[in-house]
Amino acid sequence: MSKQVAGAASLPSRSVGSGKAEMGDGTGVSSTTAPAKKKLSVLIVDDDLMIRTIHTILVSRVGGEVESQVAENGKVAVDLFRSGKSFDVVLMDWEMPVMNGIEATKELRNMGVSSMIVGVTSHSMDTEKDTFMAAGLDDCYEKPLSIKILKDILQKMKIDA
């Protein structure tokens, strides 16, 4: 199974802006040389409005240029990518109606989506996490996320980039 996408233009690059993309310090970027700084985009996939609300605020409070969008199930998330949207990070719930997080993650990987997909679940057992990870996640955390964990996730993404 290859994650390579066949020449599609939709391959979302993991590289965030250029150079300066530090989270946390909102100090201005020298505007002369840096090309327009790309906002880091996060897709929050969860059927629970409460979690979507909490995670949206979390993302907005993480510091730096981050924007988020929500999807209420896996199908909506997959359709967003199909329509040409791309996100740097996907926060993916497991249990959702219509299409759950495992199905959606597999589908996204099959489509060649290389965004960082992070599972966010209330299943806490390691074996359960392994099942979710096997679908193609980059990482998996218990919900709700904390600001610290979210910062770690975004930090890790930059190192991978």
> Which residues form the interface with another protein (CB under 8 A)?
48-51, 53-54, 57-58, 60-61, 95, 122, 143-144, 146-147
* Amino acid in the structure at residue 69: Q
Nearer to another protein, 18 or 146 (CB): 146
HEC string for 33-45: CCCCCCCEEEEEE
- The total of other beta-carbon atoms located within 10 Å of residue 135's CB is 21
Q: How far apart are CA 77 and CA 29, in angstroms?
A: 32
Nearer to another protein, 113 or 150 (CB): 150
**To the nearest whole angstrom, how small is the minimum distance from the Cβ of residue 125 to another protein?**
12
**To the nearest whole angstrom, how small is the minimum distance from the Cβ of residue 73 to another protein?**
14
Q: How far apart are CA 122 and CA 161, in angstroms?
A: 28
Nearer to another protein, 40 or 58 (CB): 58
**To the nearest whole angstrom, how small is the minimum distance from the Cβ of residue 147 to another protein?**
7
Q: How far apart are CA 40 and CA 49, in angstroms?
A: 22
Beta bridge partners of 41: 67
Nearer to another protein, 109 or 143 (CB): 143
**To the nearest whole angstrom, how small is the minimum distance from the Cβ of residue 57 to another protein?**
5
